[in-house]
Every structure is written in structure tokens, then in C-alpha cells.
Amino acid sequence: MGASLSSEGEPGGVITVQQTGAIGPQQDDEAYLRQLAELQHSLPILPDSVAEPSSIWAKTLGGSSAAGASTKPLQQLVADYQRFTRWHCRRIVEQQEKLNAGIPKLEQQAEWVQQRAAESCRKMLAAQANLAGVADVQRELEELTSRLQRVQQSMAEVERLVAAQKQQKQRQWGEQRHEQQEQQQAKQQQQVVDQQPTTQHISAC
């Protein structure tokens, strides 16, 4: 039976590497290394100081397997994975804290936006009411203008009737005066006629 390396998780996220049995052929170690390298490459990119490239792991593990003893490359891989896990958890916590810290600000912004929206709605309703009031005033103004036109037409008609009545009165007054003059002339002529016999009688005496 060959050697087998197993990794177990302990409480607190610590991973330990255990070696069981004798050390097996080199291809078993390389296959296991490839699996670990695939695991490393399946994770997000680490900072350059955290993990080694897989080619270095392969060379190191190959040399140690050929020498027949050391599991340090695997332990280094597990340590790198643990460092990455802690680093990634810290990043998650930092991002979560940042998000939590930004929630009140977002709530304030949302409240401010709601207040602005409510204010805009009130202004829009007030503007609509003002427009309705302007329309009412415009209709009232049009009605008053129409009434004024009718009043002006009535006044023009009254002025025309007054002028016609005045002309008629002047004509009637002229006719009456002419008639009075004729009557006065006739009266004077009658008086002259009436006085003529008396004058003749006085002359005869």
C-alpha cells in the first residue's frame, strides 16, 4: 500500500495535514498535487506574497517525492489556503462592515429622495391648481369681455336713439316755432284788418 496524505478541518477553520502509511509512488503525489493546484486556481486571485505558482509546487513536490520523504510543499499549500481563507474572511467582514456603515446613509438618501419626490408632487399639484385657477380667471375674463362688448353695443344703440330723439325734438321745435310765427303774423294781419274801418270812420267825422 502506498502513502496517502489527507487534510482535515479543525474547529476555527484550521486545516491539518496527516500522513498515513508509507510513501507511495511519485505519480500519486503528483496527482494529489494537481488536485490541490486545481483547488488553488479555483479560488480568487491571491496577492503575490500569499501563494506560490503551481509550477513551483509541482517541482518542489516532485523533488520531495523523488527524495521520498517531505510533505512541506503540501503543508505550505495548506498554510497558503488557510492564509487565503483568513484573508478572504477579513475581506468579507470588511465589506460587510462597509455595507452596514453605508446603510444609514442610504436610508437617509432614500428618505431625502422620498421627501424631494413628495415635495415635487406637492409642487406639481399646486402648479396644476394654479393652472386651473388661471383657466378659471381666463374664462371669467372672456365672459367679462363679452359682457363689456354687449354693454358697449347697448350704449351705442342708446346714443343713437338719443341722437335720433334729439333730432326729432329739434325738428318738432322748429315746426312749432314756424307755426307760432305764422299764427302771430296772421294775428297781426287780422288786427290790421280790424283797425282799418275804425280809422276810416274817424276820418269821415
| Per-residue pLDDT tens digits for 40-83 | 665 554 444 444 444 444 444 444 444 444 557 677 777 877 88
Q: For 170, how many CA atoms within 13 A lie in the half-sphere containing its CB?
A: 6
Q: Which residues have CB under 8 Å from 70's CB, separation 6+?
A: 64
Q: How is the chain split into domains, by residue range? A: 4-96
Calculate mean pLDDT across residues 34-45.
62
CA dist., res. 193 & res. 187, Å (int): 10
Calculate mean pLDDT across residues 175-179.
85
Query: What 3-state DSSP class applies to 49?
Result: coil
Instruction: Specify the range with the lowest mean pLDDT, choosing from 57-71, 119-133, 152-166, 178-192.
Output: 57-71
Q: Name the phi and psi angles at 82, rounded to 5.
A: -65, -40
pLDDT, tens only, 77-112: 778 778 888 888 888 888 888 888 888 888 999 999
- Contact (CB, 8 A) for 20 and 4: yes
Beta bridge partners of 17: 7
- Contact (CB, 8 A) for 37 and 58: yes
pLDDT, tens only, 7-28: 444 444 444 444 444 444 455 6
C-alpha cell at 14: 484550521
Query: What 3-state DSSP class applies to 18?
Result: strand
